[in-house]
Amino acid sequence: MKYIAQVTSAGCIAAVLFVISPSASAFRQKATPSATASPAAKATASASASPGAKAERAIPFHGMISAVDTRAKTFTIAGKEKSRVFKITGQTALTKAGNPATMKDVVEKEEARGSYWKRPDGSLEARSVKLGPLTEKEKADEEARKAKRAEKKAAKEAAASSASPAASASPSASPKP
C-alpha cells in the first residue's frame, strides 16, 4: 500500500513537471525575442502563427496576351468578363519553349500560362509565366495527370458501388398490412 502511494505521488509530480516545463519555456521565449531574428522572419512567423491568416498561394492563369507594356513591365490577358493585368518583377520566372525569356519575348497574340499572386492592393504579380503553346513534354505530363485522375475516379466509383449493394441488401421498413 505504501509502495502504491509513493508511485502515484511520483507519477503526479512527473506529470505536473511535464506540463509546466514546456509552457514555462514557451513563456520565456515570447517574453525575450531573439535579437538575431530578422524583422521579415518575425513577420512571416507571426503571420503563419495566427489561426485566421491564410498562407499566400499562387493562382494559375491561362490565356492569350492582348496587350503588352514594356515600360511598366506588364501584360494583359483578356477574359470573357474582364481583363487581367499581370506585373512582371525580378522574382518572376519567365520562360519560352522551356528556355529563359525576357520582357522582350512577351508579345501580343501569344499564348501564356503560369501563376500569380494577388497583392493586398489588388495588383496581380506574376510568379511564373510560360510563353507559347504547350511543349511535347508538357502535353505528355498533362495526359499522364488526366489518366491518373481517371484511374482514381474509377477506383473510387468501384469502391462506392461495391458498398451500396451491401447496404441495399439490408431489410427495409417492415411490410405494410
Q: Can you give the CATH number for the domain in which 115 is found?
A: 2.40.50.320
What is the pTM assigned to this prediction?
0.53
Residue at 99 is within a domain: yes
Overall domain count for the chain: 1
In this structure, is residue 111 part of a structural domain? yes
Residue 172 domain flag: no
In a domain, 28, yes or no: no
Task: Give domain status of residue 119, yes or no.
Answer: yes
Burial of 114 per CB tally in 10 Å (0-12, 13-18, 19+): buried
Please check whether residue 93 lies inside any domain of the structure: yes
- Range of 102's domain? 59-131
Higher-confidence residue of 93 and 2: namely 93
**In terms of pLDDT, which residue wins out, 167 or 8?**
8
Residue 45 lies in a domain: no
> What's 105's DSSP letter?
G
pLDDT per position as a tens digit, 14-49: 665 666 655 555 544 554 444 444 444 444 444 444
